Structure 1
Amino acid sequence: MNFGNGLNDSAPGALIPYLETHYNIGYAIVSLIFVTNAVGFISAAFFVDAIRARFGRAKTLMIAQSLMATGYIPIVCTPPFPVVVASFFFLGVGMAINLAISNVFAANLHNSTKMLGSMHGSYGIGGTIGPLMATGMVATGHLMWSRFYLITLGVTLFNLAFAGWSFWHYEEESGHTLLTTLEQTTSRTQNAQPAQKTGMFTSMGNALKSKTVILGSLFIFAYQGAEVSISGWVISFLITFRNGDPASVGYVTAGFWAGITLGRFLLSHPAHKIGEKVFVYGVVVGAAAFQLLAAGTFVLHPIAIGLFGIMLICWFCLPNSRKRTE
């Protein structure tokens, strides 16, 4: 599922020039697909746990993949652009749900740091392959830009079937649910409908009172914004300011995602050795320095550098946690 999410997130950057040409639109209009995708992601946060409590893990994942399929089916038909924009909302909701459920599952496995690294590394693999396939299909194969999404639709339908199969008896077989305290609170009240609603909002309110939750959420918000905006708009930058060939510059995005993939698979161990606090300071400052080397994209620079700054502030303010020694 995370591999499929990576395919979805990385491909628009390589396809933006072709969307602009096909619909005769500019940067401001085509960026709406990123806006509605983000709105979908944010919207899912308010009801993902209620869905999980009501339907269980397997059906929740199947609902998530169904929402993504609902987004992909219109796109592959090359509809009017407003329909494309609306479709990205469904993609955002579906990806947010499967990402939340998968993060909780991986975080509760033995050696959770390595498991989470592998899970998000799989996202990076999808991110690396996505621009290569999109560029090859559209530039070399001379296919319509929308035909790329036949691949992501196929992956989504595969995940719909096998996520359900994998987790269908999860609650019974595990003997206990691998859930956070927030999820457990809602789970205990799932049989009483009025109490369930109260518990859901109470639990959400309690979570939002936590300094760690707020700062961690802001950190991830800034990170995701920087990641997706850089990968998405570097193509337009290369074409506009560096006279790049649309048939070739898509491969630059693949390089960006390859770096993300290697980082997620390989950097957990050195980060643990050096110390997570110091390590994150170093990589964020390094990312900002390399961002300043794409001189010319003056619209993206303030946004990306500002997001890196937010990450540093949030990371500095996060309370230090003592490691368990047993």
Structure 2
Amino acid sequence: MAAADATSGQLDSSTLLKLICAGFSFFVAGVNDGSIGALIPHVIRYYGITTAIVTGLYGASFFGWFFAAVTNTHLSQRLGLGAMLAIGAFLQLAAQALRAWPVPPFGLYVFTFWLTCLGQAYQDAHANTFVASRQGSTAVHRWLGFIHAMYMAGCLAGPFAASSIASSGTGSNWWLFYTVPLALGVVNLGLVVAAFRDSITVLKPDTGAQQAEAGMSASALVNATLKEKSVWLLSLFFFFYLGVVVTASGWVVEYLVSVRNGNLTQMGYIPAGFSGGALLGRILLPEPTHSWGERRMVFLYCIFCLVFQLVFWLVPSIIAASVAISFLGFFSGPFFATAISVGTKLFPPEINSTAISFVFVFAQIGGSLFPTVTGVLGARIGLSVVQPMLIGLICAMGISWLLVPQPQIKGE
């Protein structure tokens, strides 16, 4: 029996477990990423550092994703899908174990971000590719919507857990939060082993999954991917998109505390508004986006994002800021799954897996670079720089989306 019926959407238990595992891996990544904004003010005050120094966290994240981009294709031709997912889950688990002990040295704390992002890159990119490669466009856009909604569910849960734990007592026990992602990491690794045990293998040099499919070496696959114009154009959109998401969610708490004089114990929950909005967007918007046209709808959502970001900037009210950033999350919610779905239609089949992994990693590079730049500029001229930075990124995101080619519908 086929693993799934492309037209009916019926799944056997093995495929369903794998899809649930993929979704849970995104939830784990979301809990980690969503907690950063709530913890940064505590990290700054506990270690006595500036916003420029704390951007070392984003710099370490950048190098984690960059290292993954360099090594991913070569490793995936030597290791099965399950092995790549297991390595990614283990690296994240190891990072959380290093964090979950009384006040790790700042240098070690920074290193764990490299380790976490390396693990996320391997696991999320291959889980994303697994879901995106399913046959049947309807199933693809719905399941992509599911796994990316799970990421935002994690981002929603992260700030609540981080703020409640970090704000308890004197606030010096913020590191206790990491026992939460540590426990989730154990479950994550266990799920991968259970769901993908059939592909936790070491492949022969001439039988790698991608090489067997395309008859190409890892270097040839990378070269073919880098020559594909649509890969670079879609990557550019993701580069700016994740720059918006991580900059907004990562710096909003410190911005509201230092610029608008908000109460730290209360402002730590604001990123949950962004994540909650994005979660609803990823649940409610995929169907109208798919039905009314991805190109038209995503650009319209970009305009809405710009409007609400201007409200956040120009209306000097913390309540207005909370509402505006929630709507920013809502309208940007379906971007990731929609753009990945478009990519599967644009990329040649022989480079599809490598191209999606490259785009996914390139997105995370943007999500590391722009928050770093924001923090460095914030240390010099103040965190008011967050607002014009986000306006510029949203505009660049909308323009870059218009540059992405429109996929031809097969059979027309």
Q: TM-score, normalised by structure 2?
A: 0.71
* 1:118 counterpart residue number: 146
Contact 1:72 1:87 in 2 (8 A): yes
2:130 aligns with one of 81, 93, 105: 105
73, 79, 83: which is aligned to 1:55?
A: 79
CA change 1:302–1:39 in 2 (3 A) is: farther
Q: Kindly indicate whether residue 271 of structure 2 is the aligned counterpart of residue 185 of structure 1.
A: no
Which of 27, 31, 42 matches 2:51?
Answer: 27
Q: Paired residue for 1:84?
A: 109
CA distance in 2 between partners of 1:85 and 1:36 (Å): 6
- Is 1:134 matched up with 2:220? no
> Is 2:265 the counterpart of 1:247?
yes
Distance verdict in 2 for CA 1:316–1:154, change over 3 Å: same
Measure, in 2, the Cα distance between the counterparts of 1:157 and 1:54: 25
Deviates more, 1:217-226 or 1:298-307: 298-307
1:14-55 C-alpha deviation (Å, 9 max, x unpaired):
011110111001111111101211221122122223222212
Q: Which runs of 5+ in 1 are unaligned?
A: 173-181, 190-195
Amino acid at match of 2:53: I
Q: Tell me the number of residue pairs that the alignment of Structure 1 and Structure 2 aligns.
A: 309
Q: Is the 8 A contact 1:238 1:249 kept in 2?
A: yes
CA distance in 2, matches of 1:319, 1:13: 34
For the aligned residues, what is the CA RMSD?
2.1
- Which amino acid counterpart does residue 126 of structure 2 have in structure 1? I
| Range with bigger deviation, 17-26 or 285-294 | 285-294
Query: Among 220, 224, 233, which residue is 1:202 paired with?
Result: 220
Distance 1:42 1:266 in 2: 33
- The answer for the alignment partner of 1:176 in structure 2 is none
Distance 1:271 1:291, change over 3 A: same
1:186–1:203: 8 Å Cα contact kept in structure 2? no
Q: In structure 2, how many angstroms separate the alpha carbons of the residues matched to 1:7 and 1:75?
A: 14
Mapped to 1, the partners of 2:255 and 2:312 lie a distance apart of: 9
CA distance in structure 1 between the partners assigned to 2:93 and 2:33 by the alignment:
15
Secondary structure of the structure 2 residue equivalent to 1:294: helix
Q: Give the one of 289, 299, 302 matched to 2:385.
A: 299
Shift of 1:148: 0.7
2:254 counterpart residue number:
236
Whether the aligned pair in 2 keeps the contact of 1:128 and 1:255 (CA below 8 Å) is yes
> Which residue of structure 2 aligns with residue 73 of structure 1?
97
Contact in 2 for aligned 1:68/1:94 (Cα 8 Å)? yes
Unaligned 5+ runs, structure 2? 1-24, 202-207, 315-382
Tell me which amino acid in the other structure corresponds to 2:84.
T
Q: Which amino acid counterpart does residue 211 of structure 2 have in structure 1?
A: T
> Which whole-Å CA distance do the structure 1 matches of 2:109 and 2:27 have between them?
22
Aligned position for 1:147: 176
* 1:49–1:183 contact (8 Å) kept in structure 2: no
- Identity within the alignment, %: 32
